[in-house]
A = this chain, B = another copy of it.
Amino acid sequence: MTMGTLTVPFDRTLIQAVLDETGFDPANLSIRETNRLVTLIEGQLDIRFVRMEFGIPNLPYDPVAIETAAQAESRGQVSRQYPPFDGIPELKQEASRFIRNFLNVAIPPECCIPTAGAMQGGFISQAIAGNRKAGQDTILFLAPAFPVSRLQTNLLGLRYDSVELADHRGDDLIRAVEHKMKTGKIGGLLYSSPNNPSWVVLKDEELRGLGELCTRYDVLAIEDLAYLCMDFRANYGVPGRPPYPATIASHTKNYFLLISSSKIFSFAGARIGIAAFSPAFLKMKAPALKPKFGTANVGHAFVHGGVYCTTSGVPQSSQWGLVGLMRKANAGKLNFAEATAEYGRRARAVKKIFLRHGFHLVYDNDMGDPLADGFYFTFAYPGFSGPQLLLELLHYGISAITLASSGSSRTEGLRACVSFVEESQYDLIDERLACFREDHPAG
């Protein structure tokens, strides 16, 4: 079949040759390998893919970020001086307001610590959760999850366990997590909501149950809010006005919240997030932390044993940039939820095309409610395993990654990110998937 100048499926011999040359294991392609492979195929065949493998933002940031940083620089050459390890006061203040405005949680500025991306916040949070009490060195993931979180667990020499969200929601989720916590081995509970990659959004009653378990079994929750306010079924964009996204911080004193500026503010290149932890951590003592963190105080361990020891703080310009963004959002003049809703619109359109051609969603509901449309969606096709489907779709100019790489038990599925899909490509996706179905009538 011809599409413009293209014919799908693309030449199998050529694609095989590209794959052979990379030396990658086709049954087990990582996200970066998929990315590399697709770029090579695009170059070799002179075609353009619908690229959905990478979970990276693709919207402009608000210029107030760079303006605020530039002003601070011209006022006093702020980049001359080391940043305070616990963050510049202006950012701590705005972050505290931001969390009150958009999560309805009171966390004082001293508990709001800038980190080099939520990545650093997650790394240090896991380090603390897994070393705080002897024997509790396992991080329990709600799967699927961001693959790098698991790499962090490994780098820290901690253990990993998981509960699958596709199998457990509501009361059943709480029971499954309690079953794990009862072993006494769990130090941290890690999850994202909205979830990368499934886009499942945990309900307030689930977070209440999880929070109560964290309190009962003295486990630290690590709540990854990379996609804060990006459940577009609700109107979360207005500061200080309900509704608010559900958070475990409403239900336990044992939490780290990780806020990333990468997706919500499209500020990924500044590598800045906020780790906001429970005010209880300012007093919480954990002698088991002392050998690795030099202090038994959980809050102090985060800053001094964690941020200081790994990067000596976060660049001044990134901090000032986020001051500008959060200040504007707090003032109700930067509706980041509305800006990112563009991802939701793209997801709705693209999911519809996939469903029309015999694909189905893998994670397809929130306890009976239809799943939200957002940054990611998950899909599968009858008769294909995830790796098989990934490879086959490469012949139709569409790229994604396997759910297996995110620790999902749904190994038949793939994750698609819509950030780089443009409206002008919808017809192309439609044509390509139509061809795919024609060639694979099982669906």
Contact = CB atoms under 8 A, between A and B. Distances in A.
A2 to B, nearest CB: 34
Which of A57, A77, A127 gathers the greatest number of chain B CB atoms within 10 Å? Answer: A77
A17 interface: no
Question: Main secondary structure on chain A at its contact with chain B?
Answer: helix
A311 interface: yes
B311 A119 contact: yes
A227 interface: no
Contacts of A314: 271
A294 B153 CA distance: 11
A116 B116 contact: yes
B83 A151 contact: no
B82 A66 contact: no
A424 B32 CA distance: 57
Size band of the interface chain A makes with B? 35 or more
Contacts of A304: 32
B66 A151 contact: no
Number of copies: 2
Nearest to A57: B80
Contacts of A397: none
A317 interface: yes
A294 B154 contact: yes
A312 B119 contact: yes
Nearest to A151: B309
A56 B309 CA distance: 16
Contact of A123 (B81, B271, B309, B316): B309
A264 to B, nearest CB: 13
Given A268-B81, A269-B80, A117 B154 contact: no
Contact of A66 (B65, B79, B318): B79
A317 B318 CA distance: 8
A78 B269 contact: yes
A73 interface: yes
A233 interface: no
Interface in A235-269: 262, 266-269
Which of A32, A79, A154, A311 gathers the greatest number of chain B CB atoms within 10 Å? Answer: A79
Nearest to A261: B79
A267 B80 contact: yes
A227 to B, nearest CB: 16
A155 interface: yes
B270 A79 contact: yes
Contacts of A271: 83, 116, 311-315
A68 interface: no
A323 to B, nearest CB: 14
Given A270-B316, A317-B69, A309 B82 contact: no
A315 B312 contact: no
Contact of A270 (B58, B65, B315): B315
Contacts of A154: 291-294
| Pairs of residues from A and B, 4 with the lowest C-beta to C-beta distance, nearest first | A79-B269, A269-B316, A116-B311, A119-B312
Interface of A: 32, 56-61, 65-66, 69-70, 73, 77-83, 116-117, 119-120, 123, 127, 148, 151-152, 154-155, 157, 262, 266-272, 291-294, 304-306, 308-318, 321
